Amino acid sequence: MNVTAYLGLGSNLGDRLLYLNKGVKALSEYGEIKITHLSSIYETEPVGLMSQGMFLNMALSCNVFCTPNQLLKCCKDIEHKVGREKTVRWGPRKLDIDILLFGEKCISTEMLEVPHPELLKRNFVLVPLNEIAPSLEIPGVGISVHDAMNNCIDSKKVAKIKVN
């Protein structure tokens, strides 16, 4: 199976940039994933639990040669290796890797929902995704990433940062 998938990465604990870089590196070393595009990195306000630090977020596209569940397992394994601990939902984390899109598939299982169920509600996901795939049509929704971003009512700050 060769499918283009889109992932969202985020971090708001410790050296956030280091954790994002570790996530990208670990994904690139996984034999079933070939990263094709990386977005810029954005500093964003938290969602949910507001008494936590600002996030760094980014998106990437990759060609994957595995099933959606295998990709999910890979993402969770990388989060764990970097030191993510399960706390409260939408709480602070060293690294979060979400499957945003998996080809043209719409998936709804106990373990995985694709397109990501919060995708259309969050500019911290849509802005970096728009940078790398503005004309991509979101499966099951029928609109482009660019149009989804322009229609999003999320007013939280999303600011591109300069990385040396």
| Annotated catalytic residue 77 | no
Q: Which residue has the tokens 């700050």?
A: 157
Query: Of 16, 89, 96, 147, which one is the catalytic site residue?
Result: 96
**Is 154 noted as a catalytic residue in this protein?**
no
Q: Is 84 a catalytic residue?
A: yes
DSSP 74: H
- Helix or strand (DSSP H, E) at 71: helix 68-82
Active-site hit among 16, 84, 122, 154: 84
Catalytic pick among 93, 122, 147, 154: 93
Catalytic residue of the set 98, 122, 147, 154? 98
Neighbours of 13 (CB within 10 A): 17
How far is 114 from 137, CA to CA, in rounded Å?
13
Spatial separation of the C-alpha atoms in residues 158 and 102, rounded to whole Å = 24
Residues belonging to the active site: 84, 93, 96, 98
